[in-house]
Amino acid sequence: MNPTDASAAGVVAEALAWLAQDPDAETRAELQQLIDEAGAGSEDAVAELHDRFDERLAFGTAGLRGQIAAGSNRMNRVLVSQAAAGLAAYLVARAVPGTAPSVVIGYDGRKNSRVFATDTAELMAGAGVRATLLPRLLPTPVLAFAVRHLGTSAGVMVTASHNPPDDNGYKVYLGGRDEGSQIVPPADAEIAEEILRVAAELDVLELPRGSYETADEAVIEAYVAATAAVASAPRSHVEVVYTAMHGVGWQTAQRVFRIAGFDDPHLVSAQIDPDPAFPTVAFPNPEEPGAMDLAFAAARAVGAELVIANDPDADRLAVAIPDAASTDGFRRLSGNEVGALLGWRAAEQAAQQPGDGGPSGTLACSIVSSPALEAVATAYGLEFSDTLTGFKWVSRAPGLIYGYEEALGYLVNPETVRDKDGISAAVAFLSLASELKANGSSVAEHLDRFSETFGHFASSQISVRVTDLARITTIMAALRADPPAEIGGLRVDRIEDLSDGFGSLPPSDVLRIRLDDGARVMVRPSGTEPKLKIYIDASSATGSIAERKAAAIATVSQLEAGMRKLIGSE
């Protein structure tokens, strides 16, 4: 390191201060090596230190999520300790005088998940918060359930969901009037402020630690019973293949399936046990190409009628059905297809409830999900709510009876949890498949009936990954400054800029482009990855089912080509 390089000297000083309070031998050794290399003149090491310390991993409505490594811009025990102390301060400041706030903490099977959870429990307890740790690694929906079931002030789930293996994360839920939903503004900013105060003023090694409680099996048993109740009694046996994607879903899902009356599915044995290395998949996300290849192979081997997959923390569900036209013999349904079918099921159940005023309740989905759910709500006389992206918003829809978002997230039992739940969604879809088979039908035929009843809805998504986040800002600014009059030859009717809020929606960096024929294009930066995401939806209710499909798909293809040209991503 050049001693005259003030920037290098400054970042090394930051790294040394961080090193002095790091309780983790692995990240300490890794950081010490970088400091030594920077001191020896390595420009790469200095650049790496800048990348780790020039910014801080932001705490927002998605909590924290990032790569496990040393530094303020990574996930590690120092950062998690600061987050725990900040959250504790937030809870204590807002507690009813004379009462202690409380928190329940869960964790999945990723690297350091239990360590981060235990640190959180001890530091919360040391700060005067009654802390309860779930007894073992468990799915995220169990933690979301526990916040309400135990009546705690807050919940913390240590998970990075379906992120790459080197990542971990920290999700925060609030009890009380938030009913166990994830945090939304202004709570996120207020918690972040407390975290930054801790980081600026306190050494995490000097923070007091206390004793926490460990929840017993009764919490898990209550979740299993409530989730199994989502199912209707199986009417026909369906051959099913299940994969946990190297995550924590199977043990809990198996108990739910059995209590609901379903036979054990065939398992993708190589992916059934938790493994933080995720050895059989490039990305542990059912949406990624190749992630379900082993499940499809298992399904072909046993002649399965259905494939169901949970992501690693089991808050998402993927479904695949036989498809002779596919090279794999199976086709994964889109999140919008599953969301529409489960929404139709929820509407049917609402219509069957006794009462003189007809069905009541709200179907909700995120603004980037298909308009198909609104068509269902309209047909059944139900309320419909579109929300900002994320279940922190979907779960808050008034009168909610069902909600979903296109990224494989479904909430079929809002009275049990206030977050997406891949296990309850799985048992609901199993019930649907069983009912269809008993009536001599199938999921594929039911999708056609949906198109016949409500119109055919087609969707597509463009995801532009960038190395420079400024490119996303540039594209969004250009679309606002010079709005397109047409896309792919289709005339734009209007563009709704959600940056200042729109209707009941809070402000968000989203453009909703409406076309003359009723089609829609949504453009937004990803909230968790360096990507620009574009969602395209079109529908047709004219002609035969085949004609409706062809028309909707053609419009989507036309708009996709037009958008790629417009943003320079052909």
Rounded distance between C-alpha atoms, residue 15 and residue 46, angstroms: 11
> Residue 250: which of 58, 108, 452 has the closest Cα?
108
Is residue 113 classed as helix, strand or coil in its secondary structure?
helix
With a CB cutoff of 8 Å and minimum separation 6, the contacts of 36 are none
> Residue 140: which of 418, 415, 429, 529 has the closest Cα?
418
Are 350 and 360 within 8 A, CB to CB?
A: yes
Structure tokens that stand for 18 in this block: 């961080």
With a CB cutoff of 8 Å and minimum separation 6, the contacts of 321 are 305, 306, 307, 330, 331, 333, 442, 443, 444
> β-strand 531-540 against 520-525: which pairing, if any?
antiparallel
Are 507 and 500 within 8 A, CB to CB?
A: yes
Taking 3-state DSSP, the helix, strand and coil percentages for the chain, each rounded to the nearest 5, stand at: 40, 20, 40
> β-strand 383-387 against 362-366: which pairing, if any?
parallel
Rounded distance between C-alpha atoms, residue 125 and residue 100, angstroms: 10
DSSP type of residue 135: S
> β-strand 154-158 against 167-174: which pairing, if any?
antiparallel
With a CB cutoff of 8 Å and minimum separation 6, the contacts of 245 are 162, 271, 278, 281, 284, 285, 286, 291, 309, 310, 311, 312
> Residue 350: which of 372, 319, 377, 371 has the closest Cα?
377
With a CB cutoff of 8 Å and minimum separation 6, the contacts of 25 are none
Rounded distance between C-alpha atoms, residue 78 and residue 123, angstroms: 12
DSSP type of residue 166: T
Structure tokens that stand for 196 in this block: 């930054």
Name the residue with tokens 């139900």.
382
User: What does the chain come to in residues?
Assistant: 570
With a CB cutoff of 8 Å and minimum separation 6, the contacts of 503 are none
Q: Which residues are catalytic?
A: 161
